[in-house]
Amino acid sequence: MTALRKTPTKPKKPVDPYRRRLYGKIEVAKKALGLDDDAYRDIVAALYPGKTSRTQLGTAQLLNLIEHFKSLGFKPKKKVAARAGRARLADGVTQRKTRALWISLYHLGVVSDPSERALGGFVKRQANVDDVAFMSVGDSYKVIEALKAWAVRAAGVNWSPYQIGYSETVENPRCRIIEAQWRILNPNGAQSSLAWWAQNFVKSPAAMSHWHFSDKEADRAIEELGRQVRALKGGAK
């Protein structure tokens, strides 16, 4: 009798260090809020229908989940440590914006590695600091402007504000990223069909176009279009 051979299992892909940090923050938040596994899964499913685990969420969704926990009363501890003669700064608006821009470049098919390590390499080249958390205000401005300029050159992102009426303007970088993704996927035009896609994506008559997306809906749309952009360019899905 021939012995059955076991099918070799594929080695698990290592978790990106940045995602691992987000996982850790989520675990801390669960404990701080007294959430058991069922309550936690209910929250995830309510925010992202069809999903109940952090491993099913994209990076932007993990960040939004942490922000939701903060709205419930979670207060993460801010760590400050010394390194290479420079204080480690707490994650602030500029650090989060820097990471968001880096992830956006990934969803635009410009960078192939959305990890914290890869971002750290970019920050090192631009500002000569070893980590996003070590950036000064001046460093942050320099890095953010470099990332925005890269998005303009490589993906045609238009960062200008939208004109509302005669004198009022409003900035919506998420919408600008979605529009750039749509142009990549539809180079021959069809920009008007973006509104139709947006309505079908969120399945809500209230969302007449991507301009009506909530931040969470826009992040979901960016991740979905990002998968399509990377597939088109032959990159990771």
- The C-alpha atoms of residue 179 and residue 222 are separated, in whole angstroms, by 10
Sign, CA dihedral 25-28-32-36, equals: positive
List pLDDT tens digits, range 184-233: 999 876 666 888 888 888 877 666 788 888 889 999 999 999 999 999 98
Tokens of 206: 């209230």
pTM for the complete prediction?
0.63
- The answer to whether residue 7 scores a pLDDT higher than 80 is no
> What ranges do the domains of the chain cover?
17-71, 82-155, 162-233
List pLDDT tens digits, range 77-87: 754 443 444 44
Nearest to 210 by CA among 162, 148, 160: 162
Per-residue pLDDT at 86: 44
Which parts of the chain are beta strand (E)? 82-83, 86-87, 162-164, 168-170
- The C-alpha atoms of residue 190 and residue 180 are separated, in whole angstroms, by 13
Per-residue pLDDT at 155: 95
Residues forming beta bridges with residue 164, ordered by sequence position? 168
List pLDDT tens digits, range 78-127: 544 434 444 444 467 888 899 999 999 999 999 999 988 899 999 999 98
Per-residue pLDDT at 203: 78
Residues 123, 143 contacting (CB under 8 angstroms): yes
Residues 72, 82 contacting (CB under 8 angstroms): no
Residues 123, 129 contacting (CB under 8 angstroms): yes
Radius of gyration of the chain (CA): 20
